[in-house]
């Protein structure tokens, strides 16, 4: 009976831990990745050095759980990666994911050698274990702290953190093999890396395409799509590992393939993986806490802090500056990318590999990873938003996006049903704006289902459902979030052909002889961007308006508030100058009249 009671107690504690993880996701949105440290403390308290007194030294289980957790985290990162958004930064991101990891390990190695009294190979292994950034921690903190990063910076961090783990795993395994066997050459390492990368890419690509075909052609019962995709990801990972290819690279690539193809139940799959990856991180941190011995840390904590500081302030910045030197990143962007090198579950997993094969000083590598993760999450994690604002690479979101409901429609993949609650200060309610590619279908009011005609006029508190292409569903958010207060642009900008986003199409039409029908004449230029762009407006976004081009010059709260006007080129230089001067004078007159109202 005692054994049965112990099993029941294990089930109870496991269920409580999972429930705590689910509820903690609410706090994660406020506190971010440092909340994971709570579960680290829970593991330490439950361990043999804490009041729990639980003896846990099963490194094989830690490695198994870590492999599954890391595979799911990488798959989730690939699933969320839009190839269109990272295509422009693919080369610098891949440089950071490979050369950057190697440079970080090489610079960290001498610090680890002298601080921890290791030989050069062991010092390099310490550098490899802590060299890669953690995709889940980076994504979580960026979203949890409400940051709207510059597109190039955000895409670079997204692609790098999602793709650098496979190279770090490969480098760690090669060094562990070299220390264990004592043989190997540079040619052998390059051959192994090339083989793992090529076969991993082939398996990941083929696996991703097969999953897409299965999702769209096999009539799975409702609710099984997300478990099917998650299991398929682990199948891809397992096949690649058995074939001695990079399973981590294969599962990441499979996620990218699936995430960039139209599939059924995409929203439910992403939501399910959100929970799965969050729980995977929690399990990893609890296991880390169980394996850590506070008594053992006493002798290595000081040198490990030195390694952590050198990693954050020297190795990572040097790798970023070297890899991004050929590209046009500003110094502010480079510093921010260097500071956003968070360490998390990946370092925990890599640190368990030397313990699994029984290397000497294996627990030293584990203790160093422990200290590095603690310092990274505390110092870098809690200062990420502050650094972004100080370096002017991001603006805080005025408000979190509205809660969006997405429903798949059986029989087709081109449209889905997207639902929102109507807010009193939203663009949709105040101005009746809606993009042309969406179609209102039904309205729910006081638990009654109405057609859009029956529901006219729509009132705050109603729930409206629209048909929209799945890839554009997120772009509808800005029509249902509360509008920020408008800010007037600097009137001096008008001399450079800048106008306020509140100027109407009718006003512009009078100046430049444009044809604007009565329906659109009262539409402001900011509204024109909202209606015709299929994504949130960004600085530099352009739209054609008859013979001129509108350029978004300033964004505030997700809305264009200053717009530049690009005039058509004329063959005759003199008439062109005369026309521009006339345009400037008339534009200034309109601005004066609008500002005086």
Q: Beta 448-450 vs 416-421: how paired, if at all?
A: unpaired
3-state secondary structure of 150: coil
Which residues, in sequence order, are bridge partners of residue 562? 500, 554
Q: Domain segments of the chain: what residues?
A: 1-26, 32-51+60-394, 405-479, 491-595
* pLDDT attached to residue 515: 59
Q: Is the peptide bond before 457 cis (omega within 30 degrees of 0)?
A: yes
- Dist. CA 203–CA 201, nearest whole Å: 6
Is 265:215 a contact under the CB 8 Å cutoff?
yes
DSSP string, 458-515: P-TT-EEEEEE-GGGGGGGGGGTSBPPPP-PPPGGGGGGTEEETTSBHHHHHHHHT--
Tell me how many degrees the CA angle 331-336-339 measures, rounded to the nearest 5. Answer: 125
- Dist. CA 160–CA 531, nearest whole Å: 33
Closest CA to 381 of 72, 147, 41: 147
- Dist. CA 249–CA 201, nearest whole Å: 7
Torsion of CA 553, 436, 266, 79, to 10 degrees: -20
* pLDDT attached to residue 576: 43
| Half-sphere exposure for 518 (CA within 13 Å, toward CB) | 0
DSSP state of 47: B
Closest CA to 340 of 396, 269, 391, 395: 391
Orientation of helix 59-80 relative to helix 345-357, angle to 10°: 150
CATH architecture of 405-479: 2-Layer Sandwich (3.30)
Whole-angstrom CA distances from 398 to 385, 388, 481 are 14, 15, 10
* pTM recorded for the entire structure: 0.70
Whole-angstrom CA distances from 49 to 100, 185, 296 are 38, 42, 10
CATH fold of 32-51+60-394, please? Na+/H+ antiporter like fold (1.20.1530)
Q: 491-595 maps to which CATH number? A: 3.30.465.10
Q: pLDDT tens track of the chain, all 597 residues?
A: 566 666 777 677 767 766 766 666 556 555 555 566 777 777 777 776 677 677 777 788 888 888 888 888 889 888 877 776 677 788 898 899 889 999 999 999 999 999 988 888 999 999 999 998 876 677 666 666 666 677 788 888 878 877 788 888 888 888 888 888 766 566 777 777 888 889 999 999 999 999 999 988 887 887 788 899 999 999 999 999 998 888 888 998 999 999 888 887 777 888 888 788 878 777 877 887 788 777 777 778 889 999 999 999 999 999 999 999 998 888 888 999 999 888 877 887 888 888 888 888 888 888 898 899 889 888 888 888 788 888 888 755 545 567 788 777 777 777 888 899 998 888 788 777 777 788 899 999 988 899 888 888 888 989 999 998 877 777 788 788 876 655 444 443 333 356 777 777 777 776 555 655 555 666 778 877 777 776 667 777 888 777 677 888 777 666 787 887 776 544 333 344 455 555 555 555 555 554 444
3-state secondary structure of 557: coil
Closest CA to 59 of 276, 307, 359: 359
Is 176:125 a contact under the CB 8 Å cutoff?
yes
* pLDDT attached to residue 594: 46
- Dist. CA 82–CA 155, nearest whole Å: 9
Length in residues, the chain? 597
Residue 5: how many other CB atoms lie within 10 Å: 9
DSSP string, 323-369: HHTTS---HHHHHHHHHT----HHHHHHHHHHHHHT-TTHHHHHHHH
Number of H-type helices and E-type strands within the chain: 23, 11
């Amino acid at each position: 009976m005692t054994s049965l009671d112990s099993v029941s107690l294990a089930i109870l504690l496991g269920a409580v831990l999972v429930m705590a993880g689910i509820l903690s996701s609410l706090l994660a949105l406020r506190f971010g990745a440092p909340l994971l440290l709570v579960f680290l403390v829970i593991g330490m308290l439950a361990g043999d050095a804490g009041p729990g007194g639980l003896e846990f030294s099963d490194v094989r289980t830690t490695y198994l759980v870590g492999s599954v957790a890391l595979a799911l985290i990488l798959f989730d990162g690939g699933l969320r990666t839009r190839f269109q958004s990272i295509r422009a930064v693919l080369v610098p991101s891949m440089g950071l994911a490979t050369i950057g990891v190697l440079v970080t390990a090489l610079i960290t190695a001498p610090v680890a050698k002298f601080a921890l009294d290791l030989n050069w190979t062991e010092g390099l292994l310490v550098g490899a274990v802590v060299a890669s950034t953690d995709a889940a921690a980076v994504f979580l903190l960026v979203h949890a702290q409400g940051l709207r990063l510059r597109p190039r910076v955000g895409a670079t961090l997204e692609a790098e953190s999602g793709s650098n783990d496979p190279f770090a795993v490969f480098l760690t395994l090669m060094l562990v093999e070299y220390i264990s066997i004592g043989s190997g050459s540079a040619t052998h390492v390059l051959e192994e890396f090339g083989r793992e990368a090529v076969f991993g890419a082939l398996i990941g690509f083929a696996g991703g395409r097969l999953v897409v075909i299965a999702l769209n052609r096999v009539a799975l019962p409702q609710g099984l799509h997300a478990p099917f995709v998650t299991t398929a990801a682990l199948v891809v990972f397992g096949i690649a590992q058995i074939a001695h290819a990079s399973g981590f690279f294969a599962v990441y690539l499979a996620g990218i393939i699936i995430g960039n193809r139209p599939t059924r139940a995409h929203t439910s799959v992403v939501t399910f993986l959100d929970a799965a990856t969050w729980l995977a991180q929690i399990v990893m941190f609890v296991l880390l806490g169980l394996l850590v011995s506070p008594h053992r840390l006493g002798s290595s904590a000081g040198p490990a802090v030195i390694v952590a500081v050198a990693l954050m302030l020297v190795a990572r910045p040097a790798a970023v500056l070297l890899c991004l030197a050929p590209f046009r990143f500003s110094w502010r962007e480079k510093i921010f990318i260097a500071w956003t090198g968070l360490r998390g579950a990946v370092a925990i997993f890599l640190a368990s590999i030397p313990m699994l094969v029984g290397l000497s000083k294996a627990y030293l590598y584990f203790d160093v990873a422990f200290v590095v993760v603690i310092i990274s999450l505390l110092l870098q994690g809690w200062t990420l938003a502050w650094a972004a604002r100080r370096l002017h690479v991001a603006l805080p979101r005025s408000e979190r996006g509205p809660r969006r409901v997405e429903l798949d429609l059986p029989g087709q993949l081109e449209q889905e049903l997207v639902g929102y609650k109507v807010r009193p200060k939203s663009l949709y309610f105040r101005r009746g704006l809606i993009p042309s590619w969406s179609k209102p279908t039904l309205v729910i009011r006081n638990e009654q289902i109405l057609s859009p005609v029956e529901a006219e006029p729509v009132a705050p508190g109603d729930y409206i459902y629209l048909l929209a292409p799945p890839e554009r569903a997120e772009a509808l958010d800005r029509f249902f979030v509360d509008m920020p207060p408008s800010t007037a642009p600097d009137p001096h900008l008008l001399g450079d052909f800048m106008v306020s986003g509140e100027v109407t199409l009718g006003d512009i039409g009078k100046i430049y002889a444009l044809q604007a029908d009565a329906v659109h004449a009262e539409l402001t230029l900011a509204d024109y961007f909202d209606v015709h762009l299929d994504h949130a407006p960004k600085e530099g976004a352009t739209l054609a308006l008859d013979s001129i081009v509108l350029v978004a010059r300033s964004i505030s709260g997700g809305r264009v508030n200053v717009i530049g006007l690009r005039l058509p080129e004329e063959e005759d230089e003199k008439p062109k100058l005369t026309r521009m001067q006339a345009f400037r004078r008339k534009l200034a007159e309109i601005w004066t009249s609008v500002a005086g109202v």
